Amino acid sequence: MTSTTIVAQYVRRTTLAQRHPKVLMGSLGALAVVLSFYSLSVGATEVSMGDVFNALVGDTTDQAARIVLDFQLPRVLLCWLVGIALAVSGGVMQGVIRNPLAAPDVIGVTKGAGFAGMLLLLAIPGLPVFAVVPAAFAGGLGAAALVYLFAYRRGATPVRIALVGIAVSAAFEAGIRFLLVRNPLDVSAALIWLTGSLFGRSMSSVLEILPWVLVLVPLIVIWSRKLDVLGLGDDLAAGLGEPVEKTRRMLLLFAVALAASAVAVSGTIGFIGLIAPHMARRVFGGRHLASIPAAGLFGVLLMLFADMLGRGLAPPLEIPTGLVTAVIGGPYFLYLLVKTGK
Amino acid sequence: MSLSAGTLPRPAESGDGEHRRPRIVTSKQRVTWVTAALLLVLVAGIVWSLSIGSQHIPLTRLPGAIFKPDETDELIVHSIRLPRVVLALCVGAALAVAGALMQAVAANPLAAPEIMGVNAGAVLVVVLAVTIVPSLSGAPTILLAFGGAAAAGISVMLLAGSGRGRVSPVRLALAGVTASSLLISLTQVLIIFDENSTDSVLFWLVGGVNYAGWHDIRILLPWLVFGLLGSFALARSLNLLALGDDMARGLGQNVERTRIFGSALVIVLCGAAVSVAGPVAFIGLIVPHILRRLVGSSYTVLLPLCSIGGGVLILYADVVSRYVRPPYEVPAGVVTALIGAPIFVYLARRQKVTS
C-alpha cells in the first residue's frame, strides 16, 4: 500500500454523501433504531411489536414484557455499545497507523484482551465482572505493544503490522484454548471467549461498557481533526504544529480502551472494527468528523444484523455473534486484500 | 545433488557465521548426527508415551504389552496407547512433510497447511459431511477431506495471486489466515447445530490424537505411504525449483508439473491427516523451519527428516497434553499451538518475509 493510494482512499467520496451527509447519517441512524425494535421482538420466544412497545413504555407486568426487558433489551443495547466501541476503535486505528488493514482484531488487541480477561476470571473465580475491564484493557494494550514492537524494524509497514498481528493473535488464541482445556467452563462460556457472544448478558454488562463509550467516543469525535492531520503524514502534521507522537499515543490508547471494554463484555467479536470504518469511508469520505460517527453507526448495524441472524437462523439454538460477523467479515477482508493488491 | 562435504563453499563447522546464509547442502556428518538424535528422541518419546497415563505401566512390561497383550494393563497399552503413538507419528509425518512441500511449491517461507486454509477446508467438509450423514466414516470421509483441502488451498492461492504476477509471502499469509478463520467459523456454526460439547468443539478446532484407534490408522496408512513416497520421489525436482523458475527450466525441469504434483501430494497428506486427527496446529510451519536450520534446505534430506520430526513433535505434545489436566485427555493441538505461535511470530517478523 503506497501513500498515494491511501490518500486516494481518503479523498474519494460518493456524491450523495457529499451533498447530504447529515440526511444520510440520519437515515442510517433511523435504520438502526428500526432494526433494534425489530430485534427486540425476535428470539427463542416471539414477542409481538405491540408487546415490545408496551414493555418499553412501562407495562412490565406480563411475561412478554419480562422477556423483552430482561433478555432482549440488554442484548440490543449491547449490540449498540459493542458495535460503536469496536467500529470507532477500528476507525481510529486505521487513521492513526495509516493502515487500511488495522483493526483491534487484526493487531491482536481483541485476543490479548480476551486472554487477559479470561485469565483473571479463572484465577479469581468469585470476581465481580466489572473488574474484567481493566484486565482486558491491560491485555489489549500489552498485545498491541507486542505487535508494534515485533513489527517495528526501520518503521512498521502496514502489511508487517497485519502479519505480526495475526501471529500474536494466534499466540493469544492458543493461550485462550489452553486456559479453556485447563479449566473447563460450560460450552456457552467457552464459546463467548473463543468467538464472542451476547448470549445471556444482563443490564450489568451494559453498565460496564457504557461509561467507556460515553466518555471516549465523544472525545475521539472532538479530536477527529487531529486524526485528519495525522493522516497527512508525520512531517506535515508536525509542521502544522501537532505533537505527533503524543497525539498518536493518546488516540491509540483510547482505541485500545474502547476495544478492550467491548471484549470484556462480549468476548472476541471479530471483523467489526475492520470493516465498519471501511464502509464509512466509502460512503462518507475520509474526513474523520464524518467517518468516525458513521463507522459507529455501521458497527451498530452490523452487530444488530449479526446478532439477529445468530438468534433467528435456527431457534432455539444460538449461533454466537462473533461467528456470524466472521462469516460476513471474512469475505469482505479478502475483497479488501485483493483490491489493495491492484 | 551431491551431499559430500567437499562441495561446500563453507564447512558446517565454521562457527557463528554459518547462520547468516541459508545452506543448500550440509555435511553428511551433520545430517547423520541430527538423524541419530531425532531417532533417539523418538524412541524415548514412544516409551514415555506408552508408560504414562491414568494407569502407570512399568517399562519392563512394555514389550509384552505390545506383542502379546494378556492382562488389563497390557491391553490398555495395546488398544489405547499404542494406536495413539502410531497415529501421532503418522499425522506428524504427514503434516510436516506437507508443510515442507508447500514451502517449496509456493516458494514462500510462510506457506503451511494451517496458514493457507488447507486444514480448515478439510475440517469444514468433514464436519459438514458428518453432520449430514452421521454414519459416515472411513474412506469416503478422507476423499471429501481431499476435496475440501483442495478447494480451500486453490481459492487462497487465487485470491492472494489475483492482480499481480508473483504472490508475495505476506499477502498469501493474510489471505490464507482470513480464509482459515472464515472456514473455522463456519465449522463452529455446524458444530453448534450438531453437538454441544466442549470436547467435540475443541477436537475439531485444535486437533489431537487422544481418541485414536487402530481403524483410524488403517484408514490413514495407505494415503500416508503414497504421500510420503511421492514426496521423496519429488525431492530432487523441488531442489531445482528452489533455484528459481527460470534456472529450473534451464536445467530441464518441467516446473508446472512439479508444482501440480507437489500440490496434489500436499492435499493427500493434509486431507488424510486432518480427517482422522483434526487440524493439529503449526506442525507444517515449524517442523520444516527448525530442521532447515539444522540440516540445510536440500529436500532430499529435509523431507525424510520432516517425516520423523513432525511425528516427534506431535508425540511429545501429546505426552505433555496429558499433564495439562489429569486424569482428562487434552487434544495435542492445544500444546502444538502454544509451541508454534511464538515461532510463527518469529517468522512473521523476519525481513525476508515482509519486504
ipTM: 0.75
pLDDT digits (tens, 9 = 90+) for B87-122: 999 999 999 999 999 988 888 777 888 888 899 999
Q: Could you tell me where the beta strands, DSSP code E, fall in B219-291?
A: none
C-alpha B100/C-alpha B287 separation (Å) is 8
- Are A55 and A71 contacting, i.e. CB atoms less than 8 angstroms apart? no
pLDDT, position B80: 80
Whole-angstrom distance between the N-terminal and C-terminal Cα of chain B?
31
Has residue B129 been placed in a domain?
A: yes
Has residue A29 been placed in a domain?
A: no
Q: What is the DSSP letter of A43?
A: S
pLDDT, position B156: 86
Q: Taking residues B276-292, what's their average pLDDT?
A: 88
Mean pLDDT lowest for which of A8-17, A112-121, B162-171? A8-17
* The C-alpha cell that represents B40 in the structure block: 533417539
CB atoms within 10 A of CB B56: 8
Alpha-carbon gap: A124 to the closest alpha carbon of chain B (Å): 19
- Are A255 and A248 contacting, i.e. CB atoms less than 8 angstroms apart? no
- Answer whether A159 touches B (CB < 8 Å): yes
CB atoms within 10 A of CB A272: 35
Beta-carbon-side half-sphere exposure of residue A29 (alpha carbons within 13 Å): 8
C-alpha B182/C-alpha A273 separation (Å) is 16
- Are B131 and B194 contacting, i.e. CB atoms less than 8 angstroms apart? yes
Q: Taking residues A172-186, what's their average pLDDT?
A: 77
Mean pLDDT lowest for which of A216-230, A258-272, B126-140? B126-140
- Answer whether B163 touches A (CB < 8 Å): yes
- Are A330 and A303 contacting, i.e. CB atoms less than 8 angstroms apart? no
pLDDT, position A187: 56
Cβ pair B162:A157 closer than 8 A: no
pLDDT at B40 over 90: yes
pTM of the model: 0.80
pLDDT, position A189: 65
The mean pLDDT value of chain B amounts to 80
Mean pLDDT lowest for which of A255-264, B11-20, B178-187? B11-20
**A159 neighbourhood in chain B, CB within 8 Å:** 170-171, 174, 354
Burial of A241 (0-12, 13-18, 19+ CB in 10 A): exposed
| Residue pairs between chains A and B whose CB atoms are closer than 8 Å | 143
- Are A89 and A262 contacting, i.e. CB atoms less than 8 angstroms apart? yes
pLDDT at A206 over 80: yes
Has residue B13 been placed in a domain?
A: no
Task: Report the residue from B189, B193, B338 with minimal CB separation from A178.
Answer: B338
CATH number at residue B291: 1.10.3470.10
B179 to chain A: nearest residue by CA? A330
Q: Where in the sequence is the domain holding A163, given as residue range(s)?
A: 71-296
pLDDT digits (tens, 9 = 90+) for B304-355: 999 999 999 999 998 888 887 776 777 888 888 888 888 888 887 775 554 4
Per the listing, cell 471494554 goes with: A261
- Answer whether A328 touches B (CB < 8 Å): no
Q: What backbone torsions phi and psi does residue A58 show, to the nearest 5 degrees?
A: 135, -10
pLDDT, position A43: 63
C-alpha B149/C-alpha B123 separation (Å) is 8
pLDDT at A97 over 90: no
C-alpha A307/C-alpha B54 separation (Å) is 43
CA torsion angle B124 B126 B127 B129 (round to 10)? 120
**Inter-CA distances, A161 with A100, A144, A166, B233, Å:** 11, 10, 8, 39
Most confident of A118-132, B267-281, B320-334: B267-281
pLDDT, position A45: 65
- Are A5 and A340 contacting, i.e. CB atoms less than 8 angstroms apart? yes
CA angle B273, B269, B217 (to 5 degrees): 40
Q: Taking residues B142-165, what's their average pLDDT?
A: 80
Q: Taking residues B34-53, what's their average pLDDT?
A: 88
pLDDT, position A89: 93
Has residue A18 been placed in a domain?
A: no
C-alpha A172/C-alpha B337 separation (Å) is 10
pLDDT, position A247: 83
Cα diameter, chain B? 65
- Are B199 and A191 contacting, i.e. CB atoms less than 8 angstroms apart? no
* The C-alpha cell that represents B100 in the structure block: 515442507
Q: Could you give the number of structural domains in chain B? A: 1
Has residue B236 been placed in a domain?
A: yes
**A323 neighbourhood in chain B, CB within 8 Å:** 185, 188-189, 192
Alpha-carbon gap: A177 to the closest alpha carbon of chain B (Å): 7
C-alpha A259/C-alpha A113 separation (Å) is 8
C-alpha A97/C-alpha A156 separation (Å) is 9
CB atoms within 10 A of CB A135: 22
Nearest C-alpha neighbor of A258 from the set A304, A207, A212: A212
- Answer whether A32 touches B (CB < 8 Å): no
Has residue B255 been placed in a domain?
A: yes
CA angle B317, B319, B324 (to 5 degrees): 85
Has residue A4 been placed in a domain?
A: no
Residue B188: strand, helix, or coil: helix
Q: Taking residues B47-70, what's their average pLDDT?
A: 74
Q: Taking residues B160-185, what's their average pLDDT?
A: 74
pLDDT, position A164: 83
C-alpha B313/C-alpha A94 separation (Å) is 39
The one-letter code for the residue type at A288 is H
Q: What is the DSSP letter of A70?
A: I
C-alpha A95/C-alpha A102 separation (Å) is 9
pLDDT at B10 over 50: no
Whole-angstrom distance between the N-terminal and C-terminal Cα of chain A?
9
pLDDT at A7 over 60: no
Q: Could you give the number of structural domains in chain A? A: 1
- E strand or H helix at A37: helix A21-41
CATH number at residue A279: 1.10.3470.10
- Are B324 and A174 contacting, i.e. CB atoms less than 8 angstroms apart? no
Mean pLDDT lowest for which of A41-55, A80-94, A209-223? A41-55
pLDDT at A114 over 80: yes
Give Cβ neighbours of residue A198 (< 8 Å, ≥ 6 apart). Answer: A75, A78, A79, A82, A266, A307, A321
What percentage of chain B's residues is helix, strand, coil (to nearest 5)?
A: 75, 0, 25
Task: Report the residue from A150, A194, A322 with minimal CB separation from B345.
Answer: A150
Cβ pair A317:B197 closer than 8 A: no
Most confident of B36-40, B133-137, B207-211: B36-40
Q: What backbone torsions phi and psi does residue A102 show, to the nearest 5 degrees?
A: -75, 145
Has residue A121 been placed in a domain?
A: yes
**B205 neighbourhood in chain A, CB within 8 Å:** 177, 194
pLDDT, position A298: 93
- Are B113 and B340 contacting, i.e. CB atoms less than 8 angstroms apart? no
Beta-carbon-side half-sphere exposure of residue B230 (alpha carbons within 13 Å): 22
pLDDT, position A243: 80
Q: Where in the sequence is the domain holding B86, given as residue range(s)?
A: 80-354
pLDDT at A124 over 70: yes
- Are A6 and A100 contacting, i.e. CB atoms less than 8 angstroms apart? yes
- Are B291 and B305 contacting, i.e. CB atoms less than 8 angstroms apart? yes
Interface mutation target, options A337, A339, A340, A342, chain B, most CBs of B under 10 Å: A337
Has residue B4 been placed in a domain?
A: no
pLDDT at B180 over 80: yes
Q: Is A267 left (phi over 0), alpha (psi -120 to 50) or beta?
A: left
Task: Report the residue from A314, A320, A326 with minimal CB separation from B193.
Answer: A314
C-alpha A116/C-alpha A45 separation (Å) is 35
**A110 neighbourhood in chain B, CB within 8 Å:** none
Give Cβ neighbours of residue B142 (< 8 Å, ≥ 6 apart). Answer: B219, B220, B223, B271, B272, B275
Nearest C-alpha neighbor of A255 from the set A116, A131, A143, A103: A103
Has residue B27 been placed in a domain?
A: no
Has residue B289 been placed in a domain?
A: yes
C-alpha B318/C-alpha B332 separation (Å) is 5
pLDDT at A119 over 50: yes
Q: Name the more confident of A293 and A44.
A: A293
Task: Report the residue from B160, B171, B186 with minimal CB separation from A327.
Answer: B186
Q: Name the more confident of A228 and A63.
A: A228
Q: Taking residues A187-200, what's their average pLDDT?
A: 69
Residue B7 pLDDT class (50, 70, 90 cuts): very low
Has residue B216 been placed in a domain?
A: yes
**Inter-CA distances, B98 with A210, B46, B148, B209, B288, Å:** 49, 23, 16, 18, 9
Q: Taking residues A6-13, what's their average pLDDT?
A: 50
